[in-house]
Structure 1
Amino acid sequence: MQHYLAIVAWGLCAAALALGSLIAPGLPPWLLVFTIVGSLSAARMFVRFSLWVDGTIAALGIAATLVSLPEMSPPPPAFYWLALVAAWVFAWLFVERLSRAMGRGEVEPGVFGFLVPLIFGITILALWEAVTRGAGVPSVILPPPSAIWARIASSLPTLWADFQQTFLKAVLIGYTLGCGLGFAVAILIDRSPFLKRGLLPLGNFVSALPIIGVAPIMVMWFGFDWPSKAAVVVIMTFFPMLVNTVAGLNAAGAMERDLMTTYAAGYWQTLLKLRLPAAAPFIFNALKINSTLALIGAIVAEFFGTPIVGMGFRISTEVGRMNVDMVWAEIAVAALAGSAFYGVVVLLERAITFWHPSVRSA
């Protein structure tokens, strides 16, 4: 794979250099530097290149294509697109080599592991920016990342108010209540076979309810403010926590249970010292799933009635006004908030379940 990627990247740079120099003279300076350096990378056939050299060439290519774009009248000439694809292939080659080096232990994953998703994200944003601006895509269809960032920078008070309403109130409160109730009911179900036969099917029924049908009902019951959105989040997060906790409580082996019985341990001692620690990976799986479900549920619920604030309200109203850049700004804030929330849960999982093989291997 690395061999073929290197050949393709070199060939694209050579083609862009030839096309830009012979057919369309006046290659922009940064693009000229990148295509020359990329063409010279053919020397890897005789000399072994470090993976960091490929990373430097990829960074140079991404920067050169973005810096050179304003100098060209849309649509850019063919050599620009060749250089853009070449930069993307160099980034792919670098990530491929870096991943394999970390697998062989040549590069420390704990230090450089963040580079793989970071480079992937930067490359996607660069391609997005170049394609939307270079191809003249209307902003109402897909605005470039630069326009979305400009909207974020100019709308910080509005975005902060929406974040407070949706995430800090509806999501966090609903998430805490839903996961807490699911955990408590799981303990009750584990204690009573009657409740297990009665509540598990009921919980399955509640989880199958469509959110677009539940949200208007919650608005009628709890009003237009955040409590109705928190109620929707409770419904969405309750069942995953319930099912995962019940499964986790049954994860302890028969030998361990017999050992606790031999020590004359009661139900609560066995639960606290054996079964709950064994169920911790299952519980954290539910917490991670619910961290994304909660945000989705709160945003969708705001489509069906809310005060004039909130992420869902802003998305629905700005779409009607054709302010697509503001819609993408809200989506970006929601994505960052959801990713940060998920990351916090993962850090807690690693701190609490450090003894589990899946955490040790990670």
Structure 2
Amino acid sequence: MKAWRLKEFDKPLKYEEIPDPEIKDPTDVIIKIGGAGVCRTDLHLIEGVWDRALETPLPFTIGHENAGWVHQKGSGVTMFDVGDPVIVHPVASCGKCLSCRAGEDMHCENLVFPGLTTDGGYAEYLKTSERALIKLENDVKPEEVAPLADAGITAYRAVQRAAPLAKPGTKTLLMGMGGLGHIAVQLMREFGNSDIIALDTNEERLNMALEYGADHGVVAKDGMIEEVLNLSNNGNGIDLIIDLVGEDDTHANSMKMLKKGGSYFVVGYGGVLHVPSLDVINNEFSIIGSLVGNYNQLYELMQMHAKGKVRLHSTTYPMSKANEVLKMLDEGKINGRTVLVP
């Protein structure tokens, strides 16, 4: 099969022929890819950002937002048939460790993470586990929902955790209206009762956020901190911030905008958060990291999508254009999410 391989850090991917994945475990499933979402994490993988944490041996195939059809299945697979359309939770978990038994697949002690720790979905076929699959219903096409497998459930987990704090009269700031942000706005509108302020460098993305339910849109530029504070209660700061960018400046700016007793959820990454411990104590800041969502959260999100409560703004490109799409993403030219289709 043809696949996009990361062979050297900080170099373009190579599109080449590799062997098809094979069934080895009774619960293995081979997916024929119908859509592979393009994520900023893919850029970080290429840059080597994840190498220290994962030490994934090169070369390997990237791509962790996947949907398609069951192509082959192991002898122990009972819930799916060949030809079934499915979305793939990014983690193939063991189901036996304490984290799995608690329902937190992404903390699995024996996890396999296609696209990060083993071959992913920038290819014709992907190997995963029966435990990772959710059947698509109502004639939903895989290419229409692939990014929900990561961007969707990452936003879902953060908003679901933050929503109890989004009480009437509070202000919530969502930073970054890209692939995660436009989903997070819709989820916060559904789960929370807070006024929503969307922040982004791009006015087109802000207009999309307003269309999806944000109450205010603020352009990230000089003077934005004052503008955001003016939207808060008596200028005292924002009750709840969800940072979907996670760069040095968004960390620093968040600490300047957060209200005493406020909560700061860090979802995006790449920067370093510097906060004096006295500031944390004196202001009683809560700083919470939030990872990708678990299997149940993907199931719940797919139910919301089926009811039209969450829309995904995405554009499709041929799989052969992966490097071009990644370059567009790196240059900030992508609005919403992009999906590669074989």
TM over 0.5: no
Point out which structure has higher relative CO (alpha carbons under 8 A, 6+ apart). 2
Higher strand share: 2
Larger Rg: 1
Under a length normalisation based on structure 1, what TM-score does the superposition of the two structures give? 0.27
Higher helix share: 1
